[in-house]
């Protein structure tokens, strides 16, 4: 996993409150589903965090058993872990690069592919609208209200990023479609054969 | 149920010299009472033309526009004027022609003919209160903030208790907090007063308030793709729904 530090994410969840492997994996899935962390990956991270002294077992054993039949081990962050977590929060953030399949296709497509690329770009714009329609209404203003739980406020801000990313994507698709259309038009006007 | 507003295969071109600019290309749209449709598009995408045609201010080159089942192209000037006075609210961002008019009077103007000045002003004050712009009642347009102007413009359209509200870029120049307030107001107008609202905006966060979303791109009106449709997939951080 490049860029985003998954161990700091797991650590952060344990700073929030103690937890066990399956519970942590569920919390990650709900909030940071894009990480695609499996339960076993979480267990590996927990082992490393414990070895580094960032987290420790609480000693409490959750009633019930994991699928493997072993008792659930509860972890909490140590004071060193809390220190490392705060340092990570304060550190500069890496910016993710959007990976877009259409960009890859543009890079390798041939001039004859223009009509398909156009259709693909339009389909992508329509998918952006569909994605927009699944997002809930904003209550972004409520982020400024101290009474609104911080966790909810944070989710709203992350959702706002998604909306703005969609806007950027739609604007880009719109621009390249216009240019590709114009290219097709000029090519058909100026020469009997499509210039390469 | 017949839609309140229906555009069917509407096209519109403008001529710039010998060059034909197709602003709207085969645009179809249905809007029902109680529903707010958001149309996203960048500057020059044709949003204003679309709204003007929906209002009957402008005619399409081809295609039809129906309001409550009636073809607008068959309406007389007088009938259209009456529709604009009573049933179609156009949110006008330019304000009154005369600068020193208090907003109470400006908002009352569309009602003078129907209700007389006293009742018109009473309703205007109520409309200003409803959008949360009471303080603007005695002030002239010039002294209002951008937010107050946006609210007064909505009151000016709503005061006639229209069935359809057409809004062109209602949040231009507003910050996040005021933008949510203004767009939220439009949504509740649709929901609570059972209005049909068509709002055109160049910023996507404002679109989240809409019940239906469309995008104008190169003169064509795009609808969201079927969630099950193949061909385009967007994966976003945290979006399991879109896979």
Q: Which of A139, A164, A181 sits opposite B204 (nearest CB)?
A: A164
Please give the backbone phi and psi of residue A174, each rounded to the nearest 5 degrees, phi first: -60, -45
Please report, in tens digits, the pLDDT of each residue of chain B (243 residues total).
889 999 999 999 998 888 888 899 999 999 999 999 999 999 888 999 999 999 999 999 999 999 999 999 999 999 999 999 999 999 988 888 877 899 999 999 999 988 999 999 999 999 999 999 999 999 999 999 999 999 999 999 999 999 999 999 999 889 889 999 999 999 999 998 899 999 999 999 999 999 999 999 989 999 998 855 444 555 544 443 333
Q: Which residues of chain A have pLDDT under 50?
A: 1-2
User: What digits encode the pLDDT tens for the residues B131-187?
Assistant: 999 999 999 999 999 999 999 999 999 999 999 999 999 998 898 899 999 999 999
Question: Which pLDDT does position B21 carry in this prediction?
Answer: 86
Chain B hits for A170, CB-CB cut-off 8 Å, are 40, 204, 215, 217
Chain A hits for B214, CB-CB cut-off 8 Å, are 129
- Interchain contact, A137 vs B209, CB within 8 Å: yes
HEC sequence for chain B: CCCCEEEEEEEEEEEECCEEEEEEEEEEEEECCCCEEEEECCCCCCHHHHHHHHHCCCCCCEEEEEECCEEHHHCCHHHHHHHHHHCEEEECCCCCCCCCCEHHHHHHHHHHHHHHHHHHHHHHHHHHHHCCCHHHCCCEHHHCCHHHHHHHHHHHHHCCCCCEEEEECCCCCCCHHHHHHHHHHHHHHHHHCCCEEEEEECCHHHHHHCCEEEEEECCEEECCCCCCCCCCCCCCCCCCCCC
Chain A hits for B37, CB-CB cut-off 8 Å, are none
Provide the shortest C-alpha distance from residue A83 to chain B (in Å).
Answer: 27
d(CA B33, CA B3): 7
Chain B hits for A164, CB-CB cut-off 8 Å, are 204-205
Chain A hits for B238, CB-CB cut-off 8 Å, are 31-34, 158, 162
Provide the shortest C-alpha distance from residue A71 to chain B (in Å).
Answer: 30
Question: Which pLDDT does position B242 carry in this prediction?
Answer: 34
Provide the shortest C-alpha distance from residue B37 to chain A (in Å).
Answer: 11
Does B240 touch chain A if contact means CB atoms closer than 8 Å? yes
Question: Which pLDDT does position A99 carry in this prediction?
Answer: 65
ipTM of this model?
A: 0.83
Does B209 touch chain A if contact means CB atoms closer than 8 Å? yes
DSSP H helices, A109-149, are: 114-134
Question: Which pLDDT does position A173 carry in this prediction?
Answer: 93
Question: Which pLDDT does position B241 carry in this prediction?
Answer: 36
Question: Which pLDDT does position A91 carry in this prediction?
Answer: 84
Question: Which pLDDT does position A65 carry in this prediction?
Answer: 52
- Interchain contact, B225 vs A138, CB within 8 Å: no
Question: Which pLDDT does position B105 carry in this prediction?
Answer: 95
Reported pTM: 0.81
User: What digits encode the pLDDT tens for the residues B120-145?
Assistant: 999 999 999 999 999 999 999 999 99
Question: Which pLDDT does position B60 carry in this prediction?
Answer: 96
Q: Which of B203, B231, B240 sits opposite A123 (nearest CB)?
A: B231
DSSP annotation of A83 reads H
DSSP H helices, A146-195, are: 150-190
Nearest residue in chain A measured CA to CA from B181: A141
**Which of A153, A13, A34 is CA-nearest to residue B238?**
A34
- Interchain contact, B213 vs A133, CB within 8 Å: yes
Question: Which pLDDT does position A187 carry in this prediction?
Answer: 87
């Amino acid at each position: 996993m490049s860029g985003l530090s998954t161990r700091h994410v797991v650590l952060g969840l344990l700073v929030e409150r103690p937890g066990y492997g399956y519970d942590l994996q569920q919390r990650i899935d709900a909030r940071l589903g894009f990480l695609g962390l499996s339960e076993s990956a979480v267990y590996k991270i927990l082992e490393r965090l414990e070895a580094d002294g960032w987290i420790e077992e609480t000693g409490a054993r959750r009633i019930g058993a994991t699928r493997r039949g072993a008792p659930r081990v509860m972890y909490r962050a140590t004071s060193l872990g809390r220190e490392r977590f705060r340092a990570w929060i304060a550190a500069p953030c890496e910016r993710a690069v959007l990976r877009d399949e259409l960009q890859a296709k543009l890079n390798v497509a041939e001039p004859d592919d223009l009509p398909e690329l156009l259709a693909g770009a339009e389909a992508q714009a329509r998918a952006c609208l569909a994605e927009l329609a699944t997002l809930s209404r904003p209550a972004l203003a409520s982020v400024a209200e101290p009474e609104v739980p911080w966790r909810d406020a944070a989710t709203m801000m992350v959702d706002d990023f998604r909306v703005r990313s969609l806007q950027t994507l739609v604007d880009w698709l719109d621009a390249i479609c216009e240019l590709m259309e114009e290219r097709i038009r000029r090519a058909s006007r100026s020469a009997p054969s499509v210039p390469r | 149920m017949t839609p309140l507003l229906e555009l069917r295969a509407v096209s519109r071109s403008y001529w710039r010299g010998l060059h034909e600019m197709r602003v709207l290309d085969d645009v179809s749209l249905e809007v029902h009472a109680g529903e707010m449709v958001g149309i996203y598009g960048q500057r020059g995408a044709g949003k204003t033309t679309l709204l003007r045609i929906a209002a009957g201010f402008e005619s399409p080159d081809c295609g039809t526009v129906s309001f409550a089942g009636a073809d607008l192209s068959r309406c007389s000037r007088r009938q259209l004027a009456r529709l604009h006075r009573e049933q179609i609210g156009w949110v006008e961002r330019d304000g009154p022609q005369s600068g020193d008019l208090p907003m109470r009077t400006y908002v009352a103007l569309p009602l003078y003919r129907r209700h007389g000045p006293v009742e018109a002003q009473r309703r205007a004050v109520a409309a200003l209160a409803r959008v949360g712009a009471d303080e603007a009642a005695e002030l002239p347009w010039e002294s209002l903030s951008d937010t107050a102007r946006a609210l007064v413009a909505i009151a000016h359209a709503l005061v006639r208790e229209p069935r359809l509200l057409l809004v062109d870029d209602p949040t231009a120049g507003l910050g996040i907090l005021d933008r949510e307030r203004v767009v939220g107001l439009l949504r509740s107008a649709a929901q609570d007063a059972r209005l049909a609202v068509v709002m055109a905006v160049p910023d996507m966060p404002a679109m989240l308030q809409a019940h239906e979303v469309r995008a104008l791109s190169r003169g064509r009106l795009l609808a969201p793709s079927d969630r099950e449709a193949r061909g385009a997939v967007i994966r976003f951080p945290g979006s399991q729904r879109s896979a």
